[in-house]
Structure 1
Amino acid sequence: MSSTASTRSDLARLVLRLGVGGTLAAHGAQKLFGAFGGPGLEGTRGAMHAMGFRPSGRSALLAGLSETGGGALLALGLATPAAGATAAATMAAAATVHAPNGFWSTSGGLEYPAVLALASTALAVSGPGRLSLDHALGHALNRPWMPAVALLAAGAGAALTIRQRQATVAADASAQGSASTSGDSPDEPVAS
């Protein structure tokens, strides 16, 4: 690769890292701290419960940490394979929540989390480029084998989370249906 092409590639990865990583970190800060008009941890816990993620308190904390930490690390270009894989897995789980609404985000679809997941995956695989902390540290946290391991591990975690959520949503729908036919109203969710 020529010097000009290499420089352009490094700049492109920097721009992508800053945009995707910054967006993810901001969304995570909304969840964890209520920053940028977000719900904070307690509001996120309630939303997680409503979406079928249980225990909802742990799910809220993990989603917030994954987005904030993964996003910040992507933006910095530090531990890029793990950061990208973590962000991609979190966005994959989010995409399944939006999938029933179709693709387009204007209809509440999965477009937005899917694009963030794909961009995070691409960064995990491509690496951060020379304008990164990984490069400055001699790629100690960005070895050639790390993207595959990180993506497999994060993908397995996301698959487990998605499967558990789907089972919870089905059980909640069944309980709601049973309560409707018996004339009882379902109990309020308990904090988890």
Structure 2
Amino acid sequence: MNFLEKAKPYVLSIFRIVVGLLFACHGAAKLFGVLGGEAVPVGVWPQWYAGIIEFVGGGLVLLGLATRIAALICSGEMAYAYFVVHQPRALWPLQNEGELAAVYSWSFLLIAVLGPGVWALDTLLGRARKRAPART
């Protein structure tokens, strides 16, 4: 097995951590008005709900906890943002300013399909369950 094959699960974990962190920062900016963002009032559709998904979903992906489900929800949110907010403005992402939504949507879909990698709470909990003696 060559170096690149051995590195895959670790690179996947680093990718997941970075994408989750950046996404959670978007949510924190919307919810708490930090990092240069402006807080969205509670309950405002769809920004406040997007902030919840971004903060919680991004945090779960960052930690690698319930990774596949969280990533799928985040991917769907970004697909919704792209097609409802950006795509009506123009056909191409460069024209409609939807590049970030498109990249996040596809990144989270990749994480949902490939899983969290080796450095994840899901992986750690899975190993712990396998080692635990069966209860009778």
Distance 2:122 2:36 in 1: 32
**C-alpha deviation, 1:14, in angstroms:** 1.5
Q: Which residue of 1 aligns with 2:119?
A: 131
- Superposed counterparts of 1:150-161, under 5 Å: none
Q: Which residue of 2 aligns with 1:122?
A: 110
The percentage of aligned residue pairs carrying the same residue is 34
**C-alpha deviation, 1:4, in angstroms:** 4.6
Distance 1:123 1:68 in 2: 17
Query: For this pair of structures, how many residues does the alignment match?
Result: 126
**C-alpha deviation, 1:5, in angstroms:** 4.9
**C-alpha deviation, 1:80, in angstroms:** 0.8
Q: Which residue of 2 aligns with 1:103?
A: 92
Q: Are 1:78 and 2:65 matched, yes or no?
A: yes
Extract unaligned runs of 5+ from structure 2: 129-136
C-alpha spacing 1:3/1:134, structure 2 compared with 1 (3 Å):
farther
Q: Are 1:26 and 2:21 matched, yes or no?
A: no
TM-score, normalised relative to structure 2: 0.81
For 2:111, give the aligned amino acid: L
CA RMSD of aligned residues (A): 2.2
Note if contact 1:101-1:110 (Cα within 8 Å) is conserved in structure 2.
Answer: no
**C-alpha deviation, 1:12, in angstroms:** 1.2
For 1:104, give the aligned amino acid: P
Extract unaligned runs of 5+ from structure 1: 46-55, 141-192
Secondary structure in structure 2 of the residue aligned to 1:27? helix
